[in-house]
Chains A and B, each alone.
Chain A
Amino acid sequence: MGIEEKLPSGVLLTSVEKIAGWARARSVWPATFGLACCAIELFQTGGPKHDLARFGMERASATPRQADLMIVAGRVSQKMAPVLRQIYDQMSDPKWVISMGVCASSGGMFNNYAIVQGVDHIVPVDIYLPGCPPRPEMLMDSILKLHDKIMNMKLGIDRDRQITELEEARLGIQPLHIASPEGSQL
């Protein structure tokens, strides 16, 4: 990759990280994966009232090759899942995913045979945005949180360390439900 991958950890790498993070966050191009109702709110967010262009994001690249951010807006059906994965694979690094709306985050109200229960079964998600559908302001808030994440993303050897730390933190999360006797449903 680039020179930043070869730099040893230190002041130089940190400065490069800062500049690269600042630049990346300022012009994220979404590959809008507008599927359902959330796509309409996404389309309204691109409108003049809530303006996505102020983040440099109005150039939604239809081609995933030039896109940085995949906003999965809407319910992902079983038929659409391989297409989603293919588009994600066609995006080049660095890439981020916002799962917009409850259907993309967890299957939403559609707990059935046709909908994938959370797009994180298919692609790694950076920001989960609940809502049915989330308001444009909520979408912009999630984009700003993503910008924070992008700006603080480390490069090269620091990134490897960061990934290892995050993995260990996730492995340490306790299970959500308390152990209950067999067959009882609260």
Chain B
Amino acid sequence: MTSSTPHAAAGASDAEAAEGRVYTVSGEDWDEIVAAANEAGDFESGERIVVNMGPQHPSTHGVLRLVLTLEGETVVEVRPAIGYLHTGIEKNMEYRTWTQGVTFCTRADYLMPIFNETAYCLAVERLLGIEDRIPERARIIRVLMLELNRITSHLGGIAPMGLELGATTIYTQGARLRERGLDLLELITGLRMNHAFIRPGGVAQDLPLGGLEALRAFLDTTPKLVHDLRTLIDANPVFIGRNSGIAYLDLPSCMALGVTGPMLRATGLPWDLRKSQPYCGYETYDFDVPVAHTCDAYGRYLVRMGEVDQSLRIIRQCVDRLASRGPADSVMIRDAKIGWPAQLSLGPDGLGPSSEHIAHIMGQSMEALIHHFKLITEGFRVPAGQAYAAIESPRGELGAHVVSDGGTRPYRVHLRDPSFTHLQSVAAMCEGGFVADLIPAIASIDPVMGGVDR
């Protein structure tokens, strides 16, 4: 078959019959052909194709649009375009009270809703000046929920990664594991996601009856399942072949691009805000910070699975502490002007204020009724100022910059989302590589477009 283009002509034996340069392709020599063509200057006009990996794509972890300039299979330029999920969460929060803001910010990065809530609540508590008055039981439950959410978030990133690489078993097994975590989240908060559980001043409600037993059952069975999943993936030659050496981003690049989280720890730097700038009592827990040294997608995967193990360790410590404390502790700050008055109980008509609480506000204490009323309708007032609270989320440093003008509503809330910052590094990681490497690269960033676009 002859060809009149300078591209490789398969099986062209008749050099005179073809116009232009003829390349003989016999297999496994694509590099030589491209090198020869470049040398010959055949690509000087630029045989480049612009391809749109549009917002609707099974492998781009959500509505991410990538505009690629390709030269053959090599990516010459990649431009991520975002904004397809922009919801105006930050502006919406300016029209709600401080506590209602939790229900909005929780939907920003929807794989780690507890982290969004915690960052926001820590910033609000710093503005209120009540950071050291949060009850200990509330702090332990916060750590428990954060680590549980970390496990479900990492699995929620690794399972689609398997699907995108074509390994459907990783997806089904990851989804199965994640279900167990979601069952626990549902038992404790009432919802599988977007919980609105962490509130300024504490948490919404205490663990239900049977919660500690369910947690212990989870802790007994999950390590083996995680181990099974790792047996499937870790030494898999196809997985290693696709992820090892891909999406290289070393430490100076991470610093320049503002990259934190597993991507930074995969370069070898053990930077974890839970250890260096602890919050919610993390300094009292015993855990390690897993680190890899390969700076590539495979290293990031190892860091994430290591964090799952460490999270299980922390949850075990939380369960022991909660069991030893007894249920009489409160989970919301004992300040009637701030603490959300939610003493809920399950009645014949569903979940609602417990009869004791209703009796208290209706019959026993006028102040309690007034506080309840004012807190629900107006909300508490936060003194003017600004605060930035950063926590170590599964994706990196999640920060909440909260500005108050002294009123009952946030003046400005900005969520510094790690996925937003990390997506900038796609170009640095992928240009010069192959198109097929784009998928594991983005999967190794693990972006969640809700957080990117907010």
Contacts of B85 in A (CB 8 A): 35-36, 74-75, 77, 80
Q: Which of A40, A48, A114 contacts B193 (CB 8 A)?
A: A40
With A33-B56, A37-B193, A37-B194 known as contacts, the answer to whether A79 contacts B83 (CB < 8 A) is yes
Instruction: Verify if B407 is at the interface (C-beta below 8 Å from A).
Output: no
Q: How far is the CA of A77 from the CA of B63 in the complex (A)?
A: 11
Assess the A40–B87 pair: CB atoms within 8 A: no
Assess the A132–B194 pair: CB atoms within 8 A: yes
Assess the B92–A83 pair: CB atoms within 8 A: no
Contact residues of B between 312 and 329, Cβ < 8 Å to A: none
Assess the B87–A115 pair: CB atoms within 8 A: yes
Name which residue of chain B comes closest to A83, CB basis: B55
Q: How far is the CA of A40 from the CA of B193 in the complex (A)?
A: 9
Question: What sequence of 0s and 1s flags, for each residue 49-88 of chain A, a beta carbon within 8 Å of any chain B beta carbon?
Answer: 1000000000010101000000000110111100100010
Instruction: Verify if A185 is at the interface (C-beta below 8 Å from B).
Output: no
Contacts of A33 in B (CB 8 A): 56
Q: How far is the CA of A52 from the CA of B176 in the complex (A)?
A: 13
Assess the B175–A80 pair: CB atoms within 8 A: no
Assess the B88–A40 pair: CB atoms within 8 A: no
Q: Which of B84, B160, B192 contacts A43 (CB 8 A)?
A: B160
Instruction: Verify if A28 is at the interface (C-beta below 8 Å from B).
Output: no
Q: Which of A33, A36, A41, A77 is packed against the most chain B CB atoms within 10 Å? A: A36
Q: How far is the CA of A133 from the CA of B111 in the complex (A)?
A: 12
Q: Which of B63, B111, B173, B176 contacts A35 (CB 8 A)?
A: B63
Assess the A133–B62 pair: CB atoms within 8 A: no
Q: How far is the CA of A78 from the CA of B55 in the complex (A)?
A: 13
Assess the B55–A80 pair: CB atoms within 8 A: yes
| Distance from B280 Cβ to chain A, minimum over Cβ atoms (Å) | 24
With A62-B58, A112-B92 known as contacts, the answer to whether A40 contacts B84 (CB < 8 A) is no
Assess the B62–A37 pair: CB atoms within 8 A: no
Assess the A115–B56 pair: CB atoms within 8 A: no
| Distance from B77 Cβ to chain A, minimum over Cβ atoms (Å) | 22
Q: Which of B104, B156, B172 contacts A40 (CB 8 A)?
A: B156
Assess the A37–B450 pair: CB atoms within 8 A: yes
| Distance from B222 Cβ to chain A, minimum over Cβ atoms (Å) | 15
Name which residue of chain B comes closest to A61, CB basis: B58
Interface size of B by CB at 8 A reads: 38
With A40-B110, A48-B176, A112-B92 known as contacts, the answer to whether A80 contacts B63 (CB < 8 A) is yes
Main SS of chain A's interface residues? loop
Assess the B88–A114 pair: CB atoms within 8 A: yes
Question: What sequence of 0s and 1s flags, for each residue 267-286 of chain B, a beta carbon within 8 Å of any chain A beta carbon?
Answer: 00000000000000000000
Q: How far is the CA of A79 from the CA of B160 in the complex (A)?
A: 25
With A44-B178, A77-B87 known as contacts, the answer to whether A110 contacts B92 (CB < 8 A) is yes
Assess the A47–B179 pair: CB atoms within 8 A: yes
Contacts of B409 in A (CB 8 A): none
Interface magnitude class on chain A? 35 or more
Name which residue of chain A comes closest to B110, CB basis: A37
Q: Which of A44, A112, A132, A135 is packed against the most chain B CB atoms within 10 Å? A: A44
Assess the A41–B193 pair: CB atoms within 8 A: yes
Instruction: Verify if A156 is at the interface (C-beta below 8 Å from B).
Output: no
Contacts of A62 in B (CB 8 A): 56-58
Q: How far is the CA of A42 from the CA of B103 in the complex (A)?
A: 21
Q: Which of A34, A40, A44 is packed against the most chain B CB atoms within 10 Å? A: A40
Contacts of B397 in A (CB 8 A): none
Instruction: Verify if B357 is at the interface (C-beta below 8 Å from A).
Output: no
Assess the A49–B450 pair: CB atoms within 8 A: no
Assess the B179–A44 pair: CB atoms within 8 A: yes
Contacts of A60 in B (CB 8 A): 58
Name which residue of chain A comes closest to B103, CB basis: A109
Contacts of A39 in B (CB 8 A): 62
Instruction: Verify if B182 is at the interface (C-beta below 8 Å from A).
Output: yes
Q: Which of A36, A41, A109 contacts B450 (CB 8 A)?
A: A36
Instruction: Verify if B91 is at the interface (C-beta below 8 Å from A).
Output: yes
Contact residues of A between 9 and 37, Cβ < 8 Å to B: 32-37
Q: How far is the CA of A6 from the CA of B39 in the complex (A)?
A: 62
Assess the A36–B86 pair: CB atoms within 8 A: no
Q: How far is the CA of A110 from the CA of B269 in the complex (A)?
A: 40
| Distance from B408 Cβ to chain A, minimum over Cβ atoms (Å) | 19
With A62-B57, A133-B193 known as contacts, the answer to whether A37 contacts B107 (CB < 8 A) is yes
Contact residues of B between 247 and 294, Cβ < 8 Å to A: none
Assess the B57–A40 pair: CB atoms within 8 A: no
| Distance from B56 Cβ to chain A, minimum over Cβ atoms (Å) | 5
Q: How far is the CA of A79 from the CA of B88 in the complex (A)?
A: 12
With A37-B450, A110-B92 known as contacts, the answer to whether A77 contacts B84 (CB < 8 A) is yes
Instruction: Verify if B296 is at the interface (C-beta below 8 Å from A).
Output: no
Contacts of B87 in A (CB 8 A): 36, 75, 77, 110, 112, 114-115
Name which residue of chain A comes closest to B56, CB basis: A87
Instruction: Verify if B353 is at the interface (C-beta below 8 Å from A).
Output: no
With A41-B193, A77-B83, A79-B83 known as contacts, the answer to whether A110 contacts B63 (CB < 8 A) is no
Q: Which of A40, A79, A132 contacts B86 (CB 8 A)?
A: A79
Q: How far is the CA of A63 from the CA of B173 in the complex (A)?
A: 25
Please, could you name 11 A-B residue pairs with CB atoms under 8 Å apart, sorted by A?
Answer: A36-B85, A36-B87, A40-B111, A44-B178, A48-B172, A48-B176, A64-B56, A77-B453, A79-B86, A109-B107, A110-B89
Please list the 9 inter-chain residue pairs (A to B) with the smallest Cβ-Cβ separation, ordered nearest first.
A47-B175, A37-B110, A114-B88, A62-B58, A80-B84, A112-B88, A49-B179, A48-B176, A77-B86
A35-B449, A43-B160, A75-B85 provided; 9 other pairs, C-beta below 8 A?
A: A40-B193, A47-B175, A48-B175, A48-B179, A80-B55, A83-B54, A109-B104, A110-B88, A112-B91
